[in-house]
Amino acid sequence: MSIKRKTRELMERREQILQGGGESAIKKQQEMGKMPARDRVISILDENSFQEYDLFAQHEGRDFDMDKKELPGDGVITGTGKIYGSPVCIFAQDFTVAGGSLGLMHARKITKIMDHALKLKVPLIGINDSGGARVQEGVNSLAGYGEIFYRNTQASGVIPQISVILGPCAGGAVYSPALTDFVFVVDKISKMFITGPEVIKTVLGEEISMEELGGAQVHSTITGNAHFYAASETECFEQIKNLISYIPWNNNLKPRKLRPRSPKNAYKIDTIVPVDPKQPYDVRNVIRAIADSSEFFEIQEQFAQNIVIGYGRMNGQTIGFVANQPMYMAGVLDVDSSDKAARFIRFCDAFNIPLITLVDLPGYLPGVDQEHAGVIRHGAKVLYAYSEATVPRITVILRKAYGGGYIAMNSRHLNADIVFAWPSAEIAVMGPEGAANIIFRKEITSAEDPEKMRKQKIKEYKDKFANPYVAAAKGYVDAVIEPENTRDYLLHALEVLETKDVPRPLRKHGCIPL
């Protein structure tokens, strides 16, 4: 047999496997608005950069007549490729092959590419589209899940891990995305839950649709499990590429630098923020007014909207922005927003991304529901995350910074590197109304006209303490700056902090309150 004939045989074998679960199965997927698995991989990656591994893998099922079945690639596609020139490892479950169910070989292909990613120190992208464990393979499929979870954890903080939910992801399978850094969902396609609607109906008698139980909307607004929401798969792939451009390949590197660009003129920083601390505005516009090209890549846009997190660039360098959002809930910290911010801060710290914090909040949200939901435990995460972060940490206090919220938002006291304040900043234990009511209680109650007295005392307090100078006098604020020059001050600060090097205590790991 000549090598040509052998090569032809290879081509034939390959051709057969590339068809996946066959035409009718692929058609069924397309009717649901889903791309075939291999097309997904190819559309995420740069042109002609995909190298597939383990194409000829065969499944391990021996019972229940499974040995007679052919499962091309055992329902998962794995390989390496590039995104904007950055190397990544990728796997994609193929729903057309046995419902993308996870058997031993399927899992082994995934763990192999995960080990590869960890060895090469490049980001890992996983596309989840699977009916769950392959029941015929019994405990072997459970073993497979466990081995994936273990690797997710080992890789955490070493390489960025991205999960893309493009189909069902149910039962134990959800925990792999849950362990990764970023979860992408697509409207009407993504479904994530531990127990599906059918089990819930038979066991509990509660009726609910898949979409309402664990659809893309639910996870991007209510649970916070998803970080990016897209209307279509193509939009989702653009988001993934965008994210990859902001983050480094691994924890030893810095994100790639782009050419510095100035913000757009449309965003005038001094007109965005009203002077009255009780008036709302969109803090994202402040970020756009200081970031390169006015580009801000927001994470978890719909979840806990009272805090804003995301990436922008300053002088071409990736920056993690954390900002209170006065437009929602006056920008308070609560259970969800604390979780959201803390996780983001820790990711930035793990991957050498400097943090800029914009502060404008009245404090932690009061209420029985908050207290009972554990706002103490959750709120502590923000303090912990900031305090342990060793990347450059810069704070700009825009307006109000009251009480525990002020401390938590990367204050000088948590060892922030540089704290700027605008002249409109009010740094105090609480707002003037609350403070006056406590300090001047006697004067107010004993006055002939208590309401008039209260107003007078509030004004007195405001004049004296509602400014950045009391804190600046103690060195808690490094510089009071004019708002229109904020970007210049930040650029200078980032340059100064380039050489920041903080020795860390020798320990296995801290014990963050979870």
389 binds other proteins (CB under 8 A): no
Q: Which stretch binds other proteins (CB under 8 A): 159-167, 327-335, 350-358, 417-425?
A: 327-335
The residue from 280, 404, 447, 455 that contacts other proteins (CB under 8 A) is: 280
**Which 8-state DSSP code applies to residue 208?**
-
Residue 47 to residues 82, 107, 108, 491: CA-CA distances in angstroms? 9, 27, 27, 36
Residue 141, both tokens? 């499929």
The residue from 177, 263, 362, 483 that contacts other proteins (CB under 8 A) is: 362
3-state secondary structure 64-99: CCHHHCCCHHHHEEEEEEEECCEEEEEEEECCCCHH
Strand bridging mode 426-428 / 393-402: parallel
203 binds other proteins (CB under 8 A): yes
434 binds other proteins (CB under 8 A): yes
Which of residues 203 and 473 has its CB atom nearest to other proteins in the complex?
203
Which of residues 393 and 454 has its CB atom nearest to other proteins in the complex?
454
Continuous segment of H or E residues that includes residue 384:
helix 375-388
171 binds other proteins (CB under 8 A): no
CB of 238 to other proteins, least distance (A): 22
**Do 349 and 390 form a contact (C-beta atoms < 8 A)?**
yes
359 binds other proteins (CB under 8 A): no
CB of 294 to other proteins, least distance (A): 17
The residue from 79, 331, 379, 468 that contacts other proteins (CB under 8 A) is: 331
Q: Considering only CA atoms, which of 247, 500, 256, 315 is closest in space to residue 393?
A: 500
286 binds other proteins (CB under 8 A): no
Residue count at the site for other proteins (CB under 8 A)?
Answer: 36
204 binds other proteins (CB under 8 A): yes
**Do 124 and 162 form a contact (C-beta atoms < 8 A)?**
yes
Q: Which stretch binds other proteins (CB under 8 A): 209-217, 290-298, 330-338, 386-394?
A: 330-338
Residue 221 to residues 73, 200, 353: CA-CA distances in angstroms? 36, 22, 26
275 binds other proteins (CB under 8 A): no
Residue 407, both tokens? 């401390």
332 binds other proteins (CB under 8 A): yes
The residue from 273, 304, 308, 494 that contacts other proteins (CB under 8 A) is: 304
Q: How far apart are CA 299 and CA 256, in angstroms?
A: 19
Span 209-228, contacts to other proteins by CB under 8 A: 221-222
**Do 106 and 137 form a contact (C-beta atoms < 8 A)?**
no
Cβ partners under 8 Å of residue 258, min gap 6 = 292, 313, 316
The residue from 50, 149, 267, 328 that contacts other proteins (CB under 8 A) is: 328
CB of 240 to other proteins, least distance (A): 26
Residue 25, both tokens? 């199965």
Q: How far apart are CA 126 and CA 433, in angstroms?
A: 51
CB of 370 to other proteins, least distance (A): 9
Which of residues 145 and 364 has its CB atom nearest to other proteins in the complex?
364
**Do 45 and 81 form a contact (C-beta atoms < 8 A)?**
yes
The residue from 432, 461, 467, 489 that contacts other proteins (CB under 8 A) is: 432
Which of residues 235 and 282 has its CB atom nearest to other proteins in the complex?
282
Residue 4: CA count within 13 A, CB half-sphere: 0
**Residues in a beta bridge with 182:** 162
CB of 343 to other proteins, least distance (A): 18
172 binds other proteins (CB under 8 A): no
279 binds other proteins (CB under 8 A): yes
Q: Considering only CA atoms, which of 440, 472, 474 is closest in space to residue 454?
A: 440
Residues within the interface to other proteins (CB under 8 A): 203-206, 221-222, 277-280, 282, 304-306, 326-332, 336, 362-363, 365-369, 372, 430-434, 437
